[in-house]
Amino acid sequence: MDRRFTQVEFGSHKVEVIEGGYYDRFRMNTNLDEVARDPAVGNIDFFRRIPKHRVESRVGPIWAPNFYYRTSSVQVLMLAPLERLRAALPAPLEPLHALPGYGLVALTFFSYAVCDNDPYDEVSVAVVIRRPGARGSHLVELLDSMRRRSFFAHVLALPVSTEIARVRGVYGYQLPKWLAAITVDLGAGVKAGISSLDGRPDLALSAPLPVLHSAVPQSQMGTSTMVHVVDGQWHQTSVQTNTLSFAQRILPRKVKLVRSGGPLSQLLDGLGVSTIVRFDVVKDAQVVLNLPTRLTAFD
């Protein structure tokens, strides 16, 4: 089906969005009763307990947080030498130690089928870091993070597939976003990839689809916190995930990651990533993206 587009204003920027899509209709102030009637969405009780507010941001007043009603993702968590990770992180961030001499890099492919700013895909390369202000054993912190499903990370790259997602991320959050062609397919098998807009391949991930497990809504909650600089000051941006259908494999077999020399391939090469220690497939999840808040732990 051919989509028609219309131009909207986001701060001082004019952006093409889907005519009649969620962003065009709601401008982030979504009517959840209308969303609930969308057959592509499913149950949205999770979002009804999280009120939106009109808040000031870098681009003027906006409605927040941002709701992602139907999402899927594929992630590989890989070992990388600590000296490479330290060189890639701005001070005072510190990589979380996983094994002697090694930290963790997460490569994640996201597909947002239904969300406040219309469907798009995204790829993240992030270094898992110590919680700001944390002291003591890295191992204890890592085990506690796994138990609570709560991790802190510094994002090094975050390409997206639509202009509204790029503009919002760059100017609203100061995140390293650019436009790219991205695919995420969780059909008979797992296939995900990213290419430059001129068609040159960058990364391709493939694996058999593991057996998926269904979760009772809000029983598999997780929080990822991005730590990044906004206008010269440290901020943190929390992402809450309500996972509904998922699979996880430790030291997985038959997961193939092909690097073809694009920007993300070069980034992973520079970080020295090696062994895949964990493989996560999320077939269905609901996500809440909050606005950045000031981080005082480094003051």
SS (H, E, C) 145-172: HHHHCEEEEEEEECCECCHHHHHHHHHH
Separation between Cα atoms, residue 63 and residue 172, nearest integer Å? 12
Long-range contacts of 130-134 (CB under 8 A, 24+ apart): 130/93, 130/94, 130/95, 130/96, 132/227, 132/234, 132/236, 132/295, 132/297, 132/298, 133/297, 133/298
Tens-digit pLDDT string for the chain (299 aa): 568 999 998 888 899 999 999 999 999 999 999 999 999 999 999 999 999 999 988 888 889 999 999 999 999 999 999 999 999 999 999 999 999 999 999 999 999 999 999 999 999 999 999 999 999 999 999 999 988 989 999 999 999 999 999 999 999 899 999 999 999 999 999 999 999 888 899 999 999 999 999 999 999 999 999 999 999 999 999 999 999 999 999 999 999 999 999 999 999 999 999 999 999 999 999 999 999 999 999 88
The whole-number pLDDT of residue 11 equals: 81
Instruction: Look up tokens 């239904």; give the residue.
Output: 114
Separation between Cα atoms, residue 296 and residue 67, nearest integer Å? 26
The whole-number pLDDT of residue 1 equals: 55
Separation between Cα atoms, residue 73 and residue 140, nearest integer Å? 27
Write the CB contacts of 34 (distance below 8 Å, at least 6 apart in sequence). Answer: none
Please answer whether residues 41 and 30 qualify as being in contact, where contact means their C-beta atoms are separated by less than 8 angstroms: no
Domains along the chain with CATH numbers: 66-294 (2.40.400.10)
Q: How many CA atoms lie within 13 A of 3 on its CB side?
A: 11
The whole-number pLDDT of residue 192 equals: 98
Q: What is the DSSP string of 188-238?
A: SEEEEEEE-TTS-EEEEEEEEPPPPEE--TTSSEEEEEEEEEETTEEEEEE
Which two three-digit tokens encode residue 134? 């944390």
Alpha-carbon distance values, 258 to 8, 93, 201, 207, 266 (Å) = 38, 29, 10, 12, 12
SS (H, E, C) 21-77: CHHHHHCCCCCHHHHHCCCCCCCCHHHHCCCCEEEEECCEEEEECEEEEEEEEEEEE
